[in-house]
Amino acid sequence: MTIAAGDTDYETLSAEQTVSLASGDGLAAALRRIAGALPEAAALNAPLDRYAWVGIGGPADCLVVARERATLVRAVRLAQQAGVPWRVYGGLTNVLVPDTGLRGLVVLNRARQVRFDDGCRVVADAGANVIPVARAAVGRGWGGLTWAVGLPGTLGGAVVNNAGAFGGEISRVLTAADVLLPDGRVKPVSPDWFEFRYRYSKLKAAGWGGVVLSATFQLRPGDPERLAAKAAAYTERRQRTQPPGRTLGSTFKNPPGDYAGRLIEAAGLKGARCGGIAVSEHHANFLINAGGGTAADFRALVDRIQRAVGEQFGVVLEPEIEMVPDERPPGAASSSSEPERTH
């Protein structure tokens, strides 16, 4: 189903319910009502570590796993209407969820429809995984996403972060996107709207509440054998240079004219640990959950690296990952240790 700005064919809360949720019943009651409106997709007090690439994270007050674009939009609009805090994630491949979890509504985008059109054009839901789309493009002899054949995460996340590797960037092939705005409207936008720069779009900036729903990419015809060979070389290089295991990918952005991994290694921190999190011996810009790691461990190691590199080289390492701040008081947790289904 295609959703355009101004669509009204979504069931919403009544005016009476909205007043009750926002002012009378409190956050917990509001989330129960929202979950009740999405019984096949929602769970209360749902652990997030099982979804996170690094295997870390406390529970979401309410989790919606949206397998269709319509479900995602409806969940966000209900939260907006009720005044409930909300956020949308794709694969949680580069997001550090705090040990105390996330307040409000969390939506995981699993909408993954992809269409390969004539003229080397790809139209995909934002929840589609990057790797199979990139590999399918290579299989068709289409260039432009070959660099992404080993990139974890979703296309929506790739757009938000302006993901790139091996000299390629997602912003170079993006031609259009549909974005869910903070006011609930769906707006078609051009690449300029995102204000892309290195590993950045304005949706990554604090204060922006928009969500990428779908994206269109213009690829180019190429020689299938050469593209396949290049894809194999990129995959081999990634496997050779990047560590396996539970990580969030590159932890820090490369500073101008240098590499974060080189600086961390030169600071003597290869193999350094905080609790269950360790600096990879394979590549120092990767932090590994070696077993039993927590978000607190991860943050402590990030802080230690930043201090050491700053003191020794005068370089401020900026995180490439998203580290969500704790939203609950120390020792606080959700009301139940078990997830609560609403159906």
Q: What is the 3-state secondary structure (H, E, C) of 316-327?
A: CCCECCEECCCC
- All residues at 6 or more sequence positions from 307 whose CB lies less than 8 Å from its CB, including other chains: none
Distances (CA, A) of 309 to 259, 261, 267, 322: 12, 11, 6, 20
Is it the case that residue 264 has pLDDT exceeding 50?
yes
Mean pLDDT over all residues of the chain?
A: 88
pLDDT digits (tens, 9 = 90+) for 124-147: 999 999 999 999 999 999 999 999
**Residue 162: exposure state from Cβ atoms within 10 A (0-12, 13-18, ≥19):** buried
3-class SS of residue 40: coil
Looking at 171, 280, 320, 334, which residue is catalytic? 320
Interaxial angle between packed helices 224-241 and 130-139, expressed in degrees from 0 to 180 and rounded to the nearest 10: 150
More confident residue, 8 or 243: 243
Least Cα distance to 180 among 85, 76, 104, 86 occurs for: 76
- 172 catalytic, yes or no? no
Flag the least confident range among 18-27, 68-77, 231-240. 18-27
Average pLDDT over residues 146-172: 94
What does the pLDDT read at residue 241?
82
Average pLDDT over residues 270-284: 97
Looking at 250, 280, 299, 334, which residue is catalytic? 250
Would you state the structure tokens that stand for residue 327, as one six-digit string? 């939203």
Flag the least confident range among 8-22, 118-132, 248-262. 8-22
What's the rounded Cα separation, in Å, for the pair 184 and 93? 26
What does the pLDDT read at residue 91?
81
46 in Cβ contact with 62 (< 8 Å): yes
Looking at 140, 185, 199, 304, which residue is catalytic? 199
Domains of the chain (ranges; CATH) run 15-111 (3.30.43.10), 114-239 (3.30.465.10), 243-321 (3.90.78.10)
What's the rounded Cα separation, in Å, for the pair 59 and 102? 6
296 in Cβ contact with 275 (< 8 Å): yes
Buried (b) or exposed (e) across 14-35, using 16+ Cβ within 10 A?
Answer: eeebbebbbeebebeebbbbbb
What's the rounded Cα separation, in Å, for the pair 1 and 74? 13
pLDDT band at 330 (very low <50, low <70, confident <90, very high): low
Buried (b) or exposed (e) across 45-73, using 16+ Cβ within 10 A?
Answer: bbbbbebbbbbbbbbbbbbbbbbbbbbbb
pLDDT digits (tens, 9 = 90+) for 44-57: 999 999 999 899 99
Is it the case that residue 14 has pLDDT exceeding 60?
no
What does the pLDDT read at residue 23?
42
What does the pLDDT read at residue 337?
43
- 199 catalytic, yes or no? yes
pLDDT band at 336 (very low <50, low <70, confident <90, very high): very low
Is it the case that residue 21 has pLDDT exceeding 50?
no
